[in-house]
Structure 1
Amino acid sequence: MSRSAEANESAETTTRRRSRFGDWSSTATHHTPAEDAQAILTGVLLAALGLSILAHLEFLTGGVAGLALIVSYVFGINVGLAFFLINIPFYVLAIGRMGRAFTIKTFIAIALLSLVSYWLPMVFSIAYIDPLAGAVIGGLLIGFALLALFRHRASLGGAGILAIYLQDRFGFRAGLVQLAFDMAILVIALFVVDLSAVIFSLVGALVLNGFLAINHRPDRYIAT
């Protein structure tokens, strides 16, 4: 057998293995499934911790979660149902534009966040935290969480899907897209919740999205 034939056979064997078991070879532009799993788990844990801090202070969160909370206040429907219904267009976008891998990893991240958010109060509690410190720390933790997920082609649904799509398609920075979405939600919240909670929530949103805008750029990180 010639060298070229052997090379072709080896390539075909590698392709079959990758299609059956997934690609476990890590390169400068490619993450292995194990690396994706580590990033998703870390991102979910950081997001749950940040959300628990904000929830303890009764601040709003950004993204679809914050919008779902507002909808539940106004219309009296279940928050989980509101979150699911509002996310439907974003899930369609993920399936149609972002690819199967992105959609699957995003679904896994959302499911894990639900489970961890249920489990965390059993092992972690907050006695006191200053409102300003809580807004900043909570925003940073969620920012780190989203950065980890974005760099491994995943998100926590909602605006995160839109942010990554617009960055990939038009070059808009994901952090700035998230910030615009969150600002719109906080403006709506002015008519629903206490003004001081909105102000501190705004601080958290600025910290979160400013962190993403600086650290998540397609020209600096291109791995998938």
Structure 2
Amino acid sequence: MEKIKHTHKEDVIAILTGTFLVSQGIFFLQAAQLLTGGTTGLALLISQMSGISFGILYFVCNLPFYALAWQRFGKRFAVTSLISGCLVSVMTDHLNMMISVDHINDIYCAIAGGLLMGLGMLILFRHRSSLGGFNVLCLLIQEKFGISVGKVQMVIDFCILSASFFFITPWLLAISVLGAVVLNIVLAMNHKPNRYIVTYGS
């Protein structure tokens, strides 16, 4: 059966939708001072410790992976990933102008943040884009070895969150792990090799 490609209009809408969902998820994590894995977690941690804008840190952390995306998956994938990463950086830094949270439960933030980020990333993956960062590495491993994105991402997230033990309280770390698990379950269940085949090259 011939594979039907998404139209450019569908890709644009998907990138806007996916990045919006991811930004909302990060906002929930920030509201409870939680972390997650990947370059998002690194940017959140450094931002909490230094006060530097999350968006700037997120963009800088992802830069090397955009180069990898260009080399391995082609120009189109790299460019759309760069656009997606920039949108998340800008949206996340400006959501506080749209939303004000006086009190919110930590566990709710972890679950909602993980779900929203996972769904947003899933939409981007299915429209031949990503957020850069370790997403690119995960997609490469899935393509090479057939290991699902969610499983690879979970291992990477576990390593990063384990390293965060020295910087946040055990409670916040435990809840952050919960959010990361939720995120990766969404990816592992819905982005399996050979179930939804996407060609990431140009």
TM-score normalized by the length of structure 2? 0.88
Task: Name 2:19's counterpart in structure 1.
Answer: 44
**Aligned pairs for 1:141-220 within 5 A:** 141-220=116-195
Q: Deviations over 1:128-151 (max 9, x none)?
A: 322112211110010000000011
Write the distance in 2 (CA, Å) between the matches of 1:80 and 1:144: 20
State whether structure 2 residue 68 is matched by structure 1 residue 93: yes
Q: Deviations over 1:51-109 (max 9, x none)?
A: 111100010132112123445677x5956665455434322210110111110100110
| 1:57 alignment partner AA | A
CA contact (8 A) 1:54 1:135 kept: yes
CA contact (8 A) 1:140 1:208 kept: yes
TM-score normalized by the length of structure 1? 0.80
**Which residue of 63, 79, 84 corresponds with 1:109?**
84
Give the paired residue count: 197
Write the distance in 2 (CA, Å) between the matches of 1:94 and 1:148: 18
Could you say if the C-alpha distance between residues 66 and 32 of structure 1 is closer, same or farther in structure 2, counting changes exceeding 3 Å?
same
CA contact (8 A) 2:14 2:124 kept: yes
Matched residue SS, 1:127: coil
Task: Name 1:120's counterpart in structure 2.
Answer: 95
Structure 2: segments with no counterpart, 5+ residues: none
- Structure number with greater CO (CA < 8 Å, separation at least 6) is 2
Write the distance in 2 (CA, Å) between the matches of 1:139 and 1:71: 20
State whether structure 2 residue 7 is matched by structure 1 residue 32: yes
Could you say if the C-alpha distance between residues 122 and 77 of structure 1 is closer, same or farther in structure 2, counting changes exceeding 3 Å?
closer
**Aligned pairs for 1:5-20 within 5 A:** none
Write the distance in 1 (CA, Å) between the matches of 2:189 and 2:20: 22
Please provide the CA RMSD for this pair.
2.1
Structure 1: segments with no counterpart, 5+ residues: 1-26
Matched residue SS, 1:58: coil
**Which residue of 24, 29, 35 corresponds with 1:54?**
29
Could you say if the C-alpha distance between residues 44 and 82 of structure 1 is closer, same or farther in structure 2, counting changes exceeding 3 Å?
closer
| 1:42 alignment partner AA | T
Identity %, equivalent residues: 41
| CA radius of gyration, larger in | 1
